[in-house]
Structure 1
Amino acid sequence: MDLAHVAICVSDLDRALAFYRELGFEETHRFTLSGVENVYVDRPGGDGALQLRYDPDRTTPIAPSRADTDHVAFTVEDVEETFQTALDAGGAAVLEPTEIEPAGAYAAFVEDPEGYTLELYRGL
């Protein structure tokens, strides 16, 4: 079984697309269903996409909580460079690049503009 995609709700589709494009994601396809715009983005050669869901009629705030979904992880070649790119694109630092020995990883955590936490990592 392979991961196909992770769907996240966004309050500003243009802002979300701009952020993920800065991180090297490309739009693969989109459709609107029941008034909700669905845009899929993936990194070239990626093995799992993000589905950005934008509902212009949504009446409740989007409030990602690490208590419910802790983070979405992406492998990257250069943790420091990708971390800085994410900050420059409007992300917020959660954890600076650091070695996480028990996980066998070198990783950084950043919050995207909607508040979702992303882990950027490579193996040790």
Structure 2
Amino acid sequence: MELAHAALCVSDLDRAMRFYEALGFEETHRFTLDGVENVYLGQDGDPYLQLRYDDERTTPIAPSRADVDHVAFTVEDVDAQFDAAIDAGAAPVLEPTEIDAAGAYAAFVEDPDGYTLEFYRLQ
């Protein structure tokens, strides 16, 4: 079994697209189903994220780390990815640091809708 993608509801599709494209993602495909726009983003043609936008949604997007703690991405350069995310409008959660228990170097940011993203590389 292999994880295909994570689906995130977004409040502003254009803003979310600009943010994730600034992190190096590109649109792989999209479709609309029952009025909900679904845009898949990835790298090298492999989709990793599905952005879901419903312009008729009446409840706020309210990610909670109590329910979904974070979405993690392996990266070559944690510091550069962290800086790119901040430049694209992310809020810092944890600056790049060694996480000895996990044998990793990692950083965490919050995207424009409040989802926490982790960028890491194993040591």
Shorter-chain TM-score range: over 0.9
Q: What is the TM-score with the length of structure 2 in the denominator?
A: 0.97
Q: What is the TM-score with the length of structure 1 in the denominator?
A: 0.97
Q: Percent identity?
A: 74
Q: Alignment partner of 1:7: what SS?
A: strand
Cα deviation, residue 15, structure 1: 0.3
| Alpha-carbon displacement from aligned partner over 1:14-42 (angstroms, at most 9, x marks no partner) | 00000000000010000000000000001
Q: Alignment partner of 2:108: what SS?
A: strand
Counterpart position of 2:65: 66
| Alpha-carbon displacement from aligned partner over 1:68-122 (angstroms, at most 9, x marks no partner) | 0000000000000000000000000000000001111000000000000000000
Counting only pairs closer than 5 Å after superposition, residues 1-124 of structure 1 correspond to structure 2 as 1-44=1-44, 49-124=48-123
Q: Alignment partner of 2:44: what SS?
A: coil
The residue type paired with residue 49 of structure 2 is L
Task: State the aligned residue count.
Answer: 123
Identify unmatched segments of 5+ residues in structure 2. none
Cα deviation, residue 43, structure 1: 2.0
The residue type paired with residue 10 of structure 1 is V
Q: Alignment partner of 2:3: what SS?
A: coil
Task: Kindly report structure 1 stretches of 4+ aligned residues shifted beyond 6 Å.
Answer: none
CA RMSD of aligned residues (A): 1.0
